Structure 1
Amino acid sequence: MAHHENQPKWKGKANAKVEGPKAEQVWPLLEDFFGLNKWFPTLSTCLPVEGISGQPGCVRYCAGFKTPVNNGEEIVNWTKQKLLSIDKTELTFSYSIIDGNVGFNSYVSTIKVVPNEDGCNVEWLYEVEPVEGWTQEDLKTFITSGLLVMAKRMEEALQAAQTSAS
């Protein structure tokens, strides 16, 4: 573990397009801090630990997700994540991982919904100390693929809701 200490943090950004639904429709799905399991692939559990969902300081427990370094092993990955800040006007929030078994130290992430002409983009900026057993590419793949699935699921859920409403 010590050999990572002097290395710079890994930083990156993933982007996913949500076609059709507007930023104001996608935001409430992301703003529900305790509802991540509805959208993130293979995440079977997302439970409130403390606080009120969507209020800074609240903590969620997430478990059951797969990572690129599991190599088929049946490990139950888990993290506790704390909401650091939220801006309902700018459609953005930041959170950190405060505990877990995936080796993410000093992990901070910012999620932002950005309007565009045919819907919106969801941006996921992240920063973490180098992770034992991972490459920076593993992390990028994990976050990008997760975000792409989330965007697709949100797009489908919002389109289905629109269809049933009309």
Structure 2
Amino acid sequence: MEEANEIPKWEGKATAKLLRPTASEVWPLLEDFCTLHKWLPTIDTCFKVVDEDVNGLVRHCSSEAQWCRERLTGMDPAEMCLSYEVVDSNMGFKNYKSTMKVVPIDGGDGLGCQIEWSFETDPVEGLSCEDLAKYVGIGLQGMALNMERALESAF
């Protein structure tokens, strides 16, 4: 039974379509958990801080004065999906969990895919759920554009 004063979790989901790359071309870029800075425009650096054999794979992501450490909690290459949680940050996140998934677009030609980024978190002081969802959405659009450009230049 929930307590009357318990604050509900925030939930959100953003999607971004990539028109030319296939899901199987995009997934390896997302699957490499410690290279988020290559794709997400709001991240300057991302690197592994804890090895998988210890407490799971943990990455450190930062940009200017903000940083967070995120633990990979699940990966399913067949479903092209990964999940992670924030274990520490200076951004006010508590109980933040997220899932990113690459989904083929069924256009018959095999081209195109969509990245879905969903999150659930306790409320963050100084933000609204809408602000966080907008931030995730804008970041994901930039990430999709960076991935498209990288894949185009590879061919």
Q: TM-score, normalised by structure 1?
A: 0.84
Aligned to 2:17: 17
For residue 136 of structure 1, what is the aligned residue in structure 2?
129
Q: The residue matched to 1:121 in structure 2 has which SS?
A: strand
Inter-partner Cα distance in structure 2 for 1:79 and 1:28 = 23
- The aligned runs of 1:76-155 (5 Å cut-off) are 76-116=65-105, 117=107, 118-155=111-148
Unaligned residue ranges in structure 2 (runs of 5+)? none
Deviation at 1:100, TM superposition (A): 0.4
Which string of whole-angstrom CA distances, capped at 9 and with x for unpartnered residues, describes residues 21-51 of structure 1? 0000000000010100001113111011011
CA–CA separation in structure 1 for the residues paired with 2:72 and 2:56: 5
Task: Give the match for residue 60 of structure 1.
Answer: 59
Instruction: Give the RMSD, CA atoms, in angstroms.
Output: 1.3
Which of 149, 152, 155 is the matching residue for 1:159? Answer: 152
Separation (CA, whole Å) in 1 of partners of 2:61 and 2:41: 12
Contact 2:92 2:125 in 1 (8 A): yes
Give the secondary structure class of the aligned counterpart of 2:6. Answer: coil
State TM-score, norm by structure 2. 0.90
Q: Which runs of 5+ in 1 are unaligned?
A: 65-74
- The separation in 1 between residues aligned to 2:51 and 2:102, in whole angstroms, is 24
Offset of residue 58 of structure 1: 0.1
Instruction: Give the length in aligned residue pairs.
Output: 145
The aligned counterpart of 2:38 is: 38
Question: Contact 2:23/2:113 (CA < 8 Å) preserved in 1?
Answer: yes
Check whether the contact 2:14–2:117 (CA below 8 A) recurs between aligned residues: yes
